[in-house]
Amino acid sequence: MVGCLCIHGFTGAPYEVEPLANHLQKVTNWDIRVPTLPGHGETLSLEGIRFEEWIDCAEKELKSLIQDCNEVYVIGFSMGGLIAAYLSAKYPVKKLVLLSAAAYYVNPSQMLADIKEMIRDGIKGNLKENELFNRYKKKMMETPISATFQFRKLVRFAKPYLKEIQTPTLIVQGEMDGIVPVKSAHFLYNVIETPQKELCFLPMSKHHVCHGDDFEVLVQRVERFLFEKVEGYEQKMEM
């Protein structure tokens, strides 16, 4: 039996990775788990939550999978990518997929373009139809500053473990991501020392790559990576 742990991002919920998790569930008989990190979900309650609690939650789920399954894969999105990377350095994870992993965050040029688009939609009276506005307005209102500090602490905590990763790794990055810049993917590719790694860029995707226009390409790349036997390769591909 194969187990697959999917970890969502900061202020997010399982919906961020569910399109990919649901697809894998349809085409495999794997034990796929998508936990909700403490304080996250439909109703954010992040006040007083420490970053260690997010890691502990994912770690407990991973330990359970390792106990129940012969092989375990981990997929992490954004902040969840940093948690996934840390766990892969610490536990016998067979394969690691990093989606928009937040080793760095905020892409100023793309963020400015997104803000301009929101302004245009506001002028036209179409702001309620703007995907980014709908996705982030609630988060901005309900995320305490203390939680943002905890997110930054998690990034600082996880980064030193990246060089210890020997797990075959697929790094996926949307080129139109206004939250995590493309340089984050390059950094991860360079610092993760395993020779068994791939770097995949999605030209039409913003931060939420599982909900982006390149989703079919994403599925193909993840399937190919997870389903093939990896014995020693290094690939760098741009889609």
Class of domain 2-107+144-238: alpha beta
Tokens of 137: 């307005």
- Is the pTM value of this prediction over 0.95? no
pLDDT, residue 210, reads 98
Which burial class, exposed, middle or buried, applies to 172 when counting CB atoms under 10 A from its CB (0-12, 13-18, 19+)?
A: buried
Structural contact between residues 197 and 171, judged by C-beta atoms closer than 8 angstroms: yes
Q: pLDDT confidence of 42, banded at 50, 70, 90?
A: confident
User: Which of 238 and 130 is assigned the larger pLDDT?
Assistant: 130
Per-domain boundaries in the chain: 2-107+144-238
Alpha carbon distance 42, 139 (integer Å): 10
**Per-residue pLDDT tens over the stretch 167-197:** 999 999 999 998 899 999 999 999 999 999 9
Q: What is the mean pLDDT of residues 124-142?
A: 59
Alpha carbon distance 118, 124 (integer Å): 10
Q: Which secondary structure element, helix H or strand E, spans residue 89, and what is its range? A: helix 79-90
Structural contact between residues 193 and 120, judged by C-beta atoms closer than 8 angstroms: no
**Per-residue pLDDT tens over the stretch 210-229:** 999 999 999 999 999 999 86
